[in-house]
Amino acid sequence: MRQSSLVVVAMRLPIDDSVALDGACEWRRSPGGLVSALHPLLRQTPATWVGWAGGSGPAPSLPDVDGVRLHTVPLTRDDLRDHYEGFANATLWPLYHDAVEQPEHHRRWWEAYQRVNQRYAEATAAVAEPGAIVWVQDYHLQLVPGLLRRLRPDLRIGFFLHVPFPPPELFMQLPRRAELLHGMLGADLVGFQRAQAAHNFAQLATKVLGVSATDRRIAVDDRVVRIGAFPVSIDTDELSALSARTEVAERAQRFRRDLGDPERVILSVDRMDYTKGIEQRLTAYSELLASGHIKVRDTVLVQVAVPSRERVGQYQILRDRVEREVGRINGEFGRVGEPAIHYLTQPFDRIELAALYRVADVMAVTPLRDGMNLVAKEYVAARVDDTGALLLSEFAGAAAELSQAYLVNPHDLEGLKQGLLSALQADPADVATRMRGMREHLRRHDIRAWARSYLSALDENGSLLHRLGGTA
């Protein structure tokens, strides 16, 4: 078994689901933020990625991709139902997102969560060289740091949570809350998107485990676990360069023409998820059409909503509701050849996505709660001429950094409508000042800065990073 000095552990391998079938490897770039975030780092680092290759049954053996070794973890249908669809996405996901949908609790799901986390820990222990850095990602694998420490105490273990970490009053609902906290505390460094999440975690560690904790350090057994905020970002330069390409500009022009050359294009790009505030946004838009503040012949909304987690009941219900509402709005306000909403459920390649960002005069990113929301950052990176208004929810992690966006509370329908109108009618000089400020921020706080700050905090004495060639 080949071993690596850097091992990333995530639910999914960074490849397209089709890879296991046809062997033609491509990085899986969408939809979803995690792969977009780590791809640029690992492309230039000798590393192993441990994860699931898609499908159920025996783990396929995969070739390296862009120099990254792929180590597959097999999952059965039952594992997927009870771990991925169950505990991860019907217990933790809603609970961590302010319980905007009701979290479900089932003992069988918890058993699967333990079983699958154990399998990931064992797979990781097998591919990590002595003293390696292991970076465990996200809520699917919260027990892995603790399990791995037991198997391989020589490793330097990091854990990063890409989603929000909830306040104690919500987390306390979890029947196995102590085990989940213990699992995370197996890491040397626990990273969150926002400082508030680190604060919540420290409070919970004290309350549930009775350990001594500050927002920076937690004393566990004979160790100190460091905690902190490391807001994830994007490859700003790469996306800006892509967006500046002539073919992207031409594609954006074609999009605008195909949309009927409206004065204003509003764009939203989401996974079909109840955390993204899609229904609230549609209601706001529909009321603005009904009141005549927005007219279909001047303004169009392009709503991209890629289906996600389709076997989870709450996601099926959401998709039905969204599609019914889009149909109603188009039936009521559209005209022949002029729909009020262009509704698309397809994945787009990077060029098309950049062109969509370029064509959008207003980008509406209004989740009810979101760990970060990379789409908001991608829009800013793509606006190379400093135009474009970002309408951003206060409840997206990105709002902590992109404070020059037009910030709204998506739970406040009137506020949301007003925010949308303000963004549509904003003075171009104001729009440009805000966009310049946000672009400047993202140039400095890009994906490499994120990886550098996290990995240098994890690897305090710098020896492993030096061995990795100073990548991060």
Closer of 207 and 350 to ligand ADP (Cβ): 350
Stretch that binds ligand F6P, among 18-26, 32-40, 286-294, 446-454 (CB under 6 A): 32-40
Structure tokens at 260: 């009927």
User: From the CB of residue 426, how many other CB atoms can be counted at a distance below 10 Å?
Assistant: 17
Q: What are phi and psi of 427, to 5 degrees?
A: -65, 125
Stretch that binds ligand ADP, among 42-50, 113-121, 374-382, 402-410 (CB under 6 A): 374-382
Q: What are phi and psi of 124, to 5 degrees?
A: -70, -45
What residue 309 binds from ligand F6P, ligand ADP, none (CB within 5 to 8 A, per partner kind)?
A: ligand F6P
CB of 147 to ligand ADP, least distance (A): 25
Closer of 20 and 304 to ligand ADP (Cβ): 304
Identified catalytic residue from 83, 97, 162, 199: 162
Stretch that binds ligand ADP, among 27-35, 93-101, 191-199, 240-248 (CB under 6 A): 27-35
| Sheet with 299-306, edge to edge strand ranges | 341-344, 299-306, 264-271, 362-365, 389-393, 406-408
**Which of 172, 178, 114, 170 is CA-nearest to residue 144?**
114
Residues 293-322 that bind ligand F6P (CB under 6 A): 308-309
CB of 88 to ligand F6P, least distance (A): 8
Closer of 325 and 378 to ligand ADP (Cβ): 378
CB of 163 to ligand F6P, least distance (A): 5
**Which of 337, 359, 362 is CA-nearest to residue 285?**
362
Q: Is 258 a catalytic residue?
A: no
Please state whether the peptide bond connecting residue 153 to the residue before it is cis, i.e. omega within 30 degrees of 0.
no
What residue 30 binds from ligand F6P, ligand ADP, none (CB within 5 to 8 A, per partner kind)?
A: ligand ADP
Q: What x/- string results for residues 249 through 288 when contact with ligand ADP is judged by CB under 6 A?
A: --------------------x-x-----------------
**Which of 229, 259, 208 is CA-nearest to residue 400?**
229
Q: Is 270 exposed, middle or buried (0-12, 13-18, 19+ CB in 10 A)?
A: buried
**Contact call for residue 138 and ligand F6P (CB under 6 A):** yes
With contacts defined by CB under 6 A, how many residues of the chain interact with ligand F6P? 11
**Which of 78, 109, 116 is CA-nearest to residue 94?**
109
CB of 434 to ligand F6P, least distance (A): 26
**Contact call for residue 32 and ligand F6P (CB under 6 A):** yes
Residues 259-298 that bind ligand F6P (CB under 6 A): 271
Contact of 183 with 116, CB cutoff 8 Å: no
**Which of 136, 137, 87 is CA-nearest to residue 114?**
87
Structure tokens at 149: 């420490």
Q: Is 446 a catalytic residue?
A: no
Structure tokens at 431: 């729009």
With contacts defined by CB under 6 A, how many residues of the chain interact with ligand ADP? 17
Stretch that binds ligand F6P, among 30-38, 224-232, 259-267, 318-326 (CB under 6 A): 30-38
Q: What x/- string results for residues 163 through 182 when contact with ligand F6P is judged by CB under 6 A?
A: x-------------------
What residue 144 binds from ligand ADP, ligand F6P, none (CB within 5 to 8 A, per partner kind)?
A: none
Q: HEC string of 76-124?
A: CHHHHHHHHHHHHHHHHHHHHCCCCCCCCCCHHHHHHHHHHHHHHHHHH
User: Which residue among 304, 380, 381, 390 contacts ligand ADP (CB under 6 A)?
Assistant: 304
What residue 353 binds from ligand ADP, ligand F6P, none (CB within 5 to 8 A, per partner kind)?
A: ligand ADP
**Contact call for residue 355 and ligand ADP (CB under 6 A):** no
What residue 306 binds from ligand ADP, ligand F6P, none (CB within 5 to 8 A, per partner kind)?
A: ligand ADP
**Which of 208, 199, 205 is CA-nearest to residue 228?**
199
**Contact call for residue 307 and ligand ADP (CB under 6 A):** no
| Spatial separation of the C-alpha atoms in residues 459 and 133, rounded to whole Å | 8
Identified catalytic residue from 79, 138, 273, 370: 370
- Please give the full DSSP string across 325-337, using - where no structure is assigned: HHHHHHHHH-BTT
- Indicate the SS3 state at residue 348: coil
Q: What x/- string results for residues 89 through 128 when contact with ligand F6P is judged by CB under 6 A?
A: ----------------------------------------
| Spatial separation of the C-alpha atoms in residues 367 and 410, rounded to whole Å | 7
Structure tokens at 62: 């995969």
> What does the binding site for ligand F6P look like in residue numbers (CB under 6 A)?
12, 32-34, 138, 162-163, 271, 308-309, 371
> What does the binding site for ligand ADP look like in residue numbers (CB under 6 A)?
30-33, 36, 269, 271, 304, 306, 347-348, 353, 372-375, 378
